[in-house]
Amino acid sequence: MSTDFSNIQTANKATIKILWKNKAQETLTCHFNPEKYTITRTIGWQPQAIKGGDTPATEFTGGGPSTTQLTLLFDTSLESTATDVRSITKKLWDAARIETGGSDPIKTPPNVMFSWGTNWAYEAVITSLSEEFIYFNRDGLPLRSNVTIGLQQIKDDDSFGRQNPTSGAIEGDIYIVREGDRLDLIAARAYKKPGMWRSIAEFNGIDSPGSLRPGQRLIIPPAKR
């Protein structure tokens, strides 16, 4: 089945909105949609000993919060002027710290809202955050990083966990190579310019255009504006 590339310019990008209490909310738009995410939910069952029995009875003690872990790629290497990728991801690190100001005697980090298209909106708190720097310029300035973020649900939401609203090789996403794919064909579909296959190859560290294999993951970098 062929992939529809007609919505390249209007692809839904995941966002993280930081719900500050004492200042204006901020929205961080993800450079690339996550390739995958993991959802975990704990269910409370407490064993109750039964006199004379080997197997205890279980008592339901309530549902636990859903947690999500995902990795987001941020990249500034395609900008005309080198920009420290940390200037982009700083918003996330700020959201993992206690918010100052205001009259509330109990200080906490802000809530966040992770949204992806119209299918998933998830209000949560950040429970873990790590950043791996994977690409630098000649001066050692980090231009690309993977941010792994852990989120814990704080509100019930029937839309939580719906499927990824976009798939396929659209600009700014992950593309899974299929049998018979070539870089020039992928570039033609993503950018409508077959000659931009070199951008895909360079971004993904591909030395030989004929070395693609089915199942291989490619990042489709945004076209230089």
- C-alpha triplet 110, 131, 171: angle, nearest 5°: 95
**CA atoms of 177 and 183, how far apart (whole Å):** 10
Average pLDDT on 125-139 reads: 95
Task: State the pLDDT at residue 159.
Answer: 42
Which of 172, 186, 171 is CA-nearest to residue 216? 186
| 144, pLDDT greater than 60 | yes
pTM for this prediction:
0.64
Please compute the mean of the pLDDT values over residues 21-28 and round it to a whole number: 89
pLDDT beyond 90 at 140: yes
Residue 151 pLDDT greater than 60, yes or no:
yes
Show the domains of the chain with their CATH numbers. 12-39+63-153 (2.40.30), 174-219 (3.10.350)
Residue 1 has pLDDT above 50, yes or no: no
Token digits of residue 42: 């704990």
Task: Count CB-CB contacts under 10 A for residue 129.
Answer: 15
Residue 43 one-letter amino acid: I
User: Residue 207: pLDDT above 70?
Assistant: yes
pLDDT value for 221: 81
| Closest CA relative to residue 16, chosen from 104, 94, 98 | 94
Tokens (6 digits) for 195: 């000659």
- Tell me: pLDDT of 209 over 90: no
